[in-house]
Chains A and B, each alone.
Chain A
Amino acid sequence: MFSNRVKKFALVTAVILGVLANFGIQTPLKAQSPILIGLITKTETNPFFVKMREGAQSVADKLGAKLITASGKFDTDNDSQVTAIENMISAGVKGILLVPANSKAIVPSIKKARDAGVLVIALDTPPDPVDSADALFATDNFKAGQLIGQYAKTAFGDKKATIATLDLLPGISVSELRRNGFFDGFGIKKDDPSIVCSGDSEGNQTKGQTVMENCLTKSPDINLVYTLNEPAAAGAYAALDKAGKVKDVMIVSVDGGCTPGVEYVISGKIAATSQQYPLKMAALGVEAVVKFAQDGTKPSGYTDTGVTLLSVKPLNGIVSQGAVFGVQNCWGTPTDGELDAAMKADAAAGIQPPTPEATMAATMAATTAP
């Protein structure tokens, strides 16, 4: 009675669902109710968020909570996050950890969640207004920019700087904060004539390289490059390398990821980077939701999850940590031999191994991550 096409469609659907059912069986949501925590990131694939998810997962496992995750399809995908929040409320989460893709647009959904009794903590990126969420656990991105700006200023001294900036995309708050912090730390205004070129790298290496190539064509005498994150910095380095200019140009960045970030710091390709701690954000977030579920205590306000300047070329008057500290605290997976290379680089620069206190302060919850 049914045509072949109908049978085929229904059959494969049934097979897919059969496979899925196994997932359901392994983690029976109906049987007993562990504390359900939602984590919503901007994208699936950015390593920053991958590490955040892994960090959250391991803390959740240790505390006996269940983590459900979701993300947008692209960096600025607001609608998917709206949908995720709605579905997580339906699923019965106690708290949602959220990296907003669009700080303004997500506010009504945050309100919906809070009205339903769900704790909402923003991670990494603040919503706008910032107090629409219960709390914010994030890097002080302005400070991250300031630190590398101050480093660059000290390194340049009186020497004239010709600056290129590699940004993310227009209007993205994280990117703006870091950039403005850099200018502030360097001591210039946004429209200073020493800024000769700016481009949107979208935070990836390939586009970063293109932007840098075009900037070099426009102004061959660029000698300082601010990059909003390390993949962009890697792209900038590749362009400078091709043009034979690596000796003449200083690159500074933000992120502190194990690769390419700390790797490039070790080899000196990046002169200085501000390291941030996504695992800490995620871990603190999970702990806060569990606490809320247990006794109703809500976190509030802004918790600075810390930022540390890393460099193997330390300067007088600038507080920074070395490569070993960087590798120990980086997010991501260090390559084989990265730690050894870090130790050599530190030794060559005369940097002492990091003190236990410094390590504690930076890694607090990061040590609870794998």
Chain B
Amino acid sequence: MSENADRISFASRIRQMLLSPTVGPFIALLVASLFFTTQTDRFLSGSNISLIFQQSGWIAVLAIGQTLIILTAGIDLSNGAVMTLGSVFMVSLAVNNGVNPYLAILIGLLITVGFGLLNGLLVTQLRLPPFIVTLGTLNVAFALTLIYTVETVVAPTELAFFGQTFKIGGTTITYGTVAMLILFLVIWFILRETAFGRHIYAIGNNPEAARLTGIRTDRLLIAVYSLAGLIYGFAGLLLIGRTGVGDPYAGQTANLDSITAVVLGGTSLFGGRGNVLGTLVGSLIVGVFRNGLQLMGIPSIFQVLITGILVILAVSVDQLSQRNKG
């Protein structure tokens, strides 16, 4: 007999939560944090934790956009380069061309959304694999950035506001961290509670089924890529807030770092499974390891090694659980 939906038991809800793909990564994050706490007394302090959030923040936001695209069974290699292009334009227009800083921000965001739209159109209209398309736009964006300028320009305060801080108790927190957390919640809400969000999962899980039920898959994908582009512009603002400059050389490995965060968070590269809070956990795992290892005095090359092992592990767990299902 089917359960009455009104009375899904508390135990059953807990069970369903534990089966969520985010649980494993979250436990890994807790275990890692506990470990570093025992190894050095400088890890578990308000300021150090706040630091980890700041350090992981802009990649985590890039990874939000990446999560949306990976959920549709796509992938975006261009996100770092697009973010950099947008942020460089924002800063240079404001400083070198005297454009109003807020208008400059808007123009930068239009650029990143534009690239997202371009990716979406190429994927849906030309039916090219997202890997190839975004590999192309990656190079285009990177080149355009350096053609525009090779100079690093110091950003005016209006553009660097995400780097400004406030205190809670004795801990300094940046507005960027708060904005990042709010963005995670907004996207989590959209993915969970709206038709748009559920359709993203459907397209990634079985695009043909989505199409046959009347979902306009092309429109949806274009919307997802464009939304991701907007999010990348936002990540650029976070980076400007953190470093205080528009740097045309920034973010060259950020595409892979964002994919790492998504995978470590338990989202499946095959699409249709996972959630964006997992991506936050994945970003924090990387940040915790990097920070903790540095505090322990272990050379940073080991952080790279460990991240690699964790990624292989996360993908294998995902693969094996795919095989167990019908």
Asked if the two chains touch in their complex, CB atoms less than 8 Å apart, one says yes
Measured CB to CB, the residues of A under 8 A from B are 1-6, 8-10, 12-14, 16-17, 20-21, 23-24, 27, 29-30, 36, 44, 66, 68-71, 73-74, 76-79, 82-84, 86-88, 90-92, 101-105, 108, 170-171
Main secondary structure of the interface of B (DSSP, over half): helix
- B183 neighbours in A (Cβ, 8 Å): none
Contact digits for B131-170, partner A, Cβ 8 Å, 1 yes 0 no: 0000000000000001000111110000000000000000
- A103 neighbours in B (Cβ, 8 Å): 152
Q: Which of the residues A8, A20, A66, A79 comes within 8 Å of B250, measured between beta carbons?
A: A79
- A68 neighbours in B (Cβ, 8 Å): 294, 297, 299
CA A24 – CA B296 in complex, angstroms?
Answer: 6
Q: How far is the CB of B147 from chain A (nearest CB, A)?
A: 10
- A83 neighbours in B (Cβ, 8 Å): 55, 290
List which B31-46 residues lie within 8 A (CB) of chain A: 31-32, 35, 39-42
CA A15 – CA B309 in complex, angstroms?
Answer: 11
Q: Which of under 10, 10 to 19, 20 to 34, or 35 or more describes the interface residues of B? A: 35 or more
- B251 neighbours in A (Cβ, 8 Å): 79
Q: Return 5 A-B CB contacts under 8 Å, by A number.
A: A6-B24, A24-B298, A88-B294, A90-B294, A91-B42
With A5-B24, A13-B310, A78-B249 given, is the CB distance from A23 to B298 under 8 Å?
Answer: yes
**Stretch from B98-106, B108-116, B223-231, B238-246 at the A interface:** B238-246
Q: Which of the residues A13, A73, A82, A84 comes within 8 Å of B32, measured between beta carbons?
A: A13
Q: Which of the residues B25, B48, B298 comes within 8 Å of A90, measured between beta carbons?
A: B48
| Most chain A CB inside 10 Å of its own CB: which residue of B19, B54, B150, B296 | B296
Contact B291 A10 (CB under 8 A): no
- B317 neighbours in A (Cβ, 8 Å): 5, 8-9
Contact A17 B151 (CB under 8 A): no
Contact A21 B27 (CB under 8 A): no
> Which residue of the partner chain A has the closest CB to B298?
A23
CA A303 – CA B27 in complex, angstroms?
Answer: 50
List which B227-262 residues lie within 8 A (CB) of chain A: 239, 242-245, 247-253
- B41 neighbours in A (Cβ, 8 Å): 30
With A14-B31, A104-B152 given, is the CB distance from A86 to B51 under 8 Å?
Answer: yes
Contact A170 B146 (CB under 8 A): yes
- B21 neighbours in A (Cβ, 8 Å): 5
Contact A5 B55 (CB under 8 A): no
Q: Which of the residues B39, B250, B316 comes within 8 Å of A21, measured between beta carbons?
A: B39
Contact A105 B247 (CB under 8 A): yes
CA A14 – CA B316 in complex, angstroms?
Answer: 17
> Which residue of the partner chain A has the closest CB to B24?
A9
Contact B32 A2 (CB under 8 A): no
Contact A30 B31 (CB under 8 A): no
- A88 neighbours in B (Cβ, 8 Å): 294
Decide if B295 is an interface residue (CB 8 Å cutoff).
yes
Q: How far is the CB of B152 from chain A (nearest CB, A)?
A: 4
- B310 neighbours in A (Cβ, 8 Å): 12-13, 16
Q: How far is the CB of B144 from chain A (nearest CB, A)?
A: 14
Q: Which of the residues B19, B247, B293, B313 comes within 8 Å of A9, measured between beta carbons?
A: B313
Measured CB to CB, the residues of B under 8 A from A are 18-19, 21, 23-25, 27-28, 31-32, 35, 39-42, 47-48, 51, 54-55, 58, 146, 150-154, 239, 242-245, 247-253, 290-291, 293-302, 306, 309-310, 313-314, 316-318, 320-321
Contact B42 A105 (CB under 8 A): no
Contact A2 B55 (CB under 8 A): no
Q: How far is the CB of B14 from chain A (nearest CB, A)?
A: 9
- A13 neighbours in B (Cβ, 8 Å): 27-28, 31-32, 310
Contact B252 A77 (CB under 8 A): yes
With A30-B40, A78-B247 given, is the CB distance from A6 to B23 under 8 Å?
Answer: yes
Q: Which of the residues B27, B31, B249, B300 comes within 8 Å of A71, measured between beta carbons?
A: B300
Contact A78 B250 (CB under 8 A): yes
- A74 neighbours in B (Cβ, 8 Å): 252-253
CA A337 – CA B281 in complex, angstroms?
Answer: 54
Contact B19 A90 (CB under 8 A): no
Q: How far is the CB of B298 from chain A (nearest CB, A)?
A: 5
- A6 neighbours in B (Cβ, 8 Å): 18, 23-24, 27
Q: Which of the residues B24, B242, B301 comes within 8 Å of A82, measured between beta carbons?
A: B242
> Which residue of the partner chain A has the closest CB to B305?
A16
Contact B18 A44 (CB under 8 A): no
With A9-B25, A171-B150 given, is the CB distance from A16 to B55 under 8 Å?
Answer: no
| Most chain B CB inside 10 Å of its own CB: which residue of A16, A36, A101, A171 | A16
- B24 neighbours in A (Cβ, 8 Å): 5-6, 8-10
CA A70 – CA B55 in complex, angstroms?
Answer: 15
CA A304 – CA B308 in complex, angstroms?
Answer: 40
CA A5 – CA B242 in complex, angstroms?
Answer: 36
CA A101 – CA B24 in complex, angstroms?
Answer: 36
- B40 neighbours in A (Cβ, 8 Å): 24, 29-30, 91
CA A6 – CA B22 in complex, angstroms?
Answer: 9
Q: How far is the CB of A113 from chain B (nearest CB, A)?
A: 13
> Which residue of the partner chain A has the closest CB to B31?
A13
Q: How far is the CB of A204 from chain B (nearest CB, A)?
A: 15
CA A20 – CA B309 in complex, angstroms?
Answer: 13
Q: How far is the CB of A226 from chain B (nearest CB, A)?
A: 20
Q: How far is the CB of A7 from chain B (nearest CB, A)?
A: 8
Q: How far is the CB of A33 from chain B (nearest CB, A)?
A: 12
Q: How far is the CB of B241 from chain A (nearest CB, A)?
A: 11
With A9-B313, A79-B250, A92-B42 given, is the CB distance from A171 to B151 under 8 Å?
Answer: yes
- B25 neighbours in A (Cβ, 8 Å): 9
Extra contacts, 19 of them, besides A4-B321, A90-B42 (Cβ < 8 A), are A3-B18, A6-B18, A6-B24, A13-B27, A13-B28, A17-B31, A29-B296, A78-B152, A78-B243, A78-B249, A82-B243, A87-B291, A90-B47, A91-B295, A91-B297, A104-B153, A108-B243, A171-B151, A171-B248
| Most chain B CB inside 10 Å of its own CB: which residue of A71, A101, A170 | A170
Q: Which of the residues B31, B153, B247 comes within 8 Å of A10, measured between beta carbons?
A: B31
With A5-B24, A90-B42 given, is the CB distance from A102 to B247 under 8 Å?
Answer: yes
